[in-house]
Chains A and B, each alone.
Chain A
Amino acid sequence: MANTITQIIESAAAVAKGMSVTFKEMMSPTVTENYPDEPPKFEERYRGAHVLQRDENGMEKCVACFLCAAACPANCIYIEAAENTDLVRISGGERYAKVYNIDYNRCIFCGYCVEACPTDAITHGHGFELASYNTSTLVYRKEDMLAPIPPGARPPVIASSGTAANGH
């Protein structure tokens, strides 16, 4: 008999202990995010999809030095370089990236490219919605990653047209 009573008391204590956690958490601020109903919150240093930065004049910072491609352990960065001329001036340096692709099939978001960049041209943004049913859309081109031209900036020449989004 005494055994049964002990059992009841122990069960009640266990329930009370469990519920105390529940009630305590009900009172504390919520950490669950309502994604996709609300935009997710990121830490500043979150490593998401890359952004190719521009300088204050709206020129591309990338000078196509290939160091990001060299640092990349997944070998997912492909660059073709070209020379800035008086007529077509894309970057601040002598050279710019005519083609700059990142293959997100391969990218492991390690951030080595950002570490390697001598001009702070490539950075990790907070973009993370990269999922696709078609892997061929996961090769991002320069135009998909370039930061917008800052308001008020007047770059001497903007890259020629025909380089708009390629349909993700």
Chain B
Amino acid sequence: MAELVSLTIDGRTVQVPPGTLVIDAAKKIGVEVPAFCYYEGLSLQAACRMCLVEVEKMPKLMAGCTLPVAEGMVVRTETPTIAKARKSTLEFLLTNHPLDCPVCDKGGECELQDMVFRYGAGESRYTEIKHHVDEKQWSPVVYFDAPRCILCYRCVRICDEGMGVGALGVINRGVVSEIAPNKTDHLECDECGMCIDICPVGALTSGAYRYKTRPWEMQHVGTICTHCSNGCKTTLGVRNNEIMRGDNRDQSGVNGEFLCIKGRYAFDFYHHQERLQSPLVRKNGKLEPVSWKEALEAAAARLKAARDAGSKIGVIGSTRTSNEENFYLQKFARLGLGTNHIDHHRTGDVVTLLDALSGQKDALATTADLYEKPAIVVLGADLALEHPLLSFQIRANFRHHQARVYAVTEKPVREDKYAAAAIRCDAAGELAALETLREKLANEPELVIVFGDTVKGDAVRKLVAFGSSLGKPVKYVALVDYSNSRGAMDMGLVPELLPGYRPSGQTGMSAGEMVASGDLDMLYIVGANPLEGGQPLGGKPFVIVHEMFLTETAQAADIVFPASSAYEKNGTVTSVTGEVQQLKKAVQAMGTKPDLEILGLLVREMGLAAQIGPWTPDKVFQEIRETVPGYNMPLPVIATGGAVQTAPVNGRIEVDARPDLVRSSRDGLFTSGTLGRYSKVLNSVVEGRHHT
């Protein structure tokens, strides 16, 4: 490590590594140098001239965002000369910038507005007619108002460098230069909205949030996106019990600045007109809306009778309900209903991985590891589409740390572009293909292996054996699909395992077997759609369903409870990397209840309350922390919106992990299980339509 360089900024001495930029050195001691074009983590532009600083012995003001520190440098960031220069810069920026702050969606959180407020260039000496260009709509979610643009190129860079899409560029020269999509007049990209988020002014605005409200009118609720397993924190702007927008306002989640289209826009399923708002009970062959009391009594009576008669009851849990709900559901099934037929849709072979890693320490990667470790292997997954955050992390890792990325996949993937090696092979040949990389991988100091559902059962064991044979620290990520797929496994929503991967010692039917079975008497389904695509039930069980919408499964049910979405409840979820984070209730959808409350009310109705225990999220989470191995995590970190990785089992899991049941549904960027169907935005973008 080279020696630190010491310099003086605004009279304070700071020591930083050589090569650090003055703007970053100033940030280190809490001095803010204003800048529009500079954005941490992106390439340098030096386009806006806002970050001008005074450096002793340099005749002119210097751009702090491109000036590396030097030993003994004396920098001043706030002097009358600088204020004058910045004011003039702002005046230039404002020559063609319309003064339409009152109708601009950025008004109130606009960096240009803040700067003009600070340096006072509110009055213009420019009397000529402003150059005007009409606003354009590039996609259902992206609007571009060229006159507001200050040409900082942040959008161009985030799209190219951050997302690896490169959908934006610049056309024309001089005063008429404009940001433009590379596909002539519209965008064909990830529709992630990163360009909108990163825009310091109101040039790029969101079609979903357009003219709806103003930033200070909303409450900002930081919760976890419910669409995929990456566990991105999305901050929902709520006004009058309505979600106005999603963004990553404080960048405090595992995702930092990143959100994809689903995290940013696809919250809109929650007020879809087909959302269930009252319980339904089948009467004369038709589902009729009834009161909660009637539905709960009917369900409790049937369940009690079935249990007392020793009938066969099946329970299918959800991959998007909270850990608390999953824990309570398995407790209800095992203790309350006395059945071990409990399962969920398994999308990754986590059990075999944990078993194979028995005895190894620090072998499970976190989201941060994908950014920090020097080498990443992607095995059999198109991360950019299926796990956008992980893909973003790897791209940033390559950009900042020159990480070596090895992609072994069936189809071309986005990682190919910068991969040290990209190998095409079919699912069966992945491990063999990995073997050809052995020499290269053995030379890496550290390694993270990310694998999809094609690697399961024995293949996982072989993969771990391969990793161990390299003699280097190797970490793994077993990819799973949904927001709490990992949590469902951790909480024991499988016949063979109790919460915390303790063997149950009993057998039970899998979800598929329950659906196909001819002799099941009752089927209790929470937030899952096993009948997707019109698959019929094998027998004629009495079906009780918790759902948000009348899915294929709900249509076949005898009792349907309207359930709350993840944005309407409190609890915790566990991401693909095993990081536990808190859900926070943002809104209340009329007529719905969280699954935990529905289960709790049912338990009470059945007279099992004393046996199964309380059903508030914090009480159940307390119980999880006390009883489930790996979940005894510091509560303050979780409660303040942080993420904690669950401790690995670190012991053999002596059960048949049923790798044959592992099947990823391969949701892309624009689909999200059954929820995706009800999101207007996901269905409106052109890329989404291509997929259906």
Give residues in A with beta carbon < 8 Å to B.
Answer: 63-67, 69-70, 81-83, 93-95, 118-119
Contact = CB atoms under 8 A, between A and B. Distances in A.
Contact of A66 (B100, B210, B217): B217
A118 B104 CA distance: 13
Contacts of A82: 211
B217 A64 contact: no
A63 B101 CA distance: 11
Contacts of B211: 64, 81-83, 94-95
A69 B210 contact: no
B217 A119 contact: no
Contacts of A119: 102
B103 interface: yes
Interface of B: 100-103, 107, 210-214, 216-217
B217 A83 contact: no
Contacts of B212: 81
Contacts of A83: 210-211
- Give 10 closest A-B pairs by Cβ, nearest first: A65-B102, A95-B211, A66-B214, A83-B211, A93-B103, A118-B102, A95-B103, A63-B103, A94-B103, A81-B211
Given A94-B100, A94-B103, 6 more contacts: A65-B101, A70-B214, A81-B213, A82-B211, A94-B211, A95-B103
B387 to A, nearest CB: 35
A139 to B, nearest CB: 15
Nearest to A69: B217
Given A82-B211, A94-B211, A95-B211, A70 B216 contact: yes
> Which of A63, A65, A70, A119 has most chain B Cβ within 10 Å?
A65
Given A82-B211, A83-B211, A67 B102 contact: yes
Contact of B107 (A65, A69, A93): A65
Contacts of B216: 66, 70
Contacts of B210: 83
Contacts of A64: 103, 211
B94 to A, nearest CB: 16
Nearest to A67: B102
Contacts of A63: 102-103
A123 to B, nearest CB: 16
A65 B108 CA distance: 10
Nearest to A82: B211
A90 to B, nearest CB: 12
Contacts of B103: 63-65, 93-95
A93 B102 CA distance: 9
Contacts of A81: 211-213
A82 B212 CA distance: 6
21 contacts: A63-B102, A63-B103, A65-B107, A65-B214, A66-B213, A66-B214, A66-B216, A66-B217, A67-B102, A69-B217, A70-B216, A70-B217, A81-B211, A82-B211, A83-B210, A83-B211, A93-B100, A94-B211, A95-B211, A118-B101, A119-B102
Nearest to B216: A70
A94 B212 CA distance: 12
Contacts of A95: 103, 211
A80 to B, nearest CB: 8
A74 B150 CA distance: 37
A35 B102 CA distance: 41
A81 B214 CA distance: 9
A6 to B, nearest CB: 75
Contacts of B102: 63, 65, 67, 93, 118-119
A69 B101 CA distance: 16
Nearest to B107: A65
A71 to B, nearest CB: 11
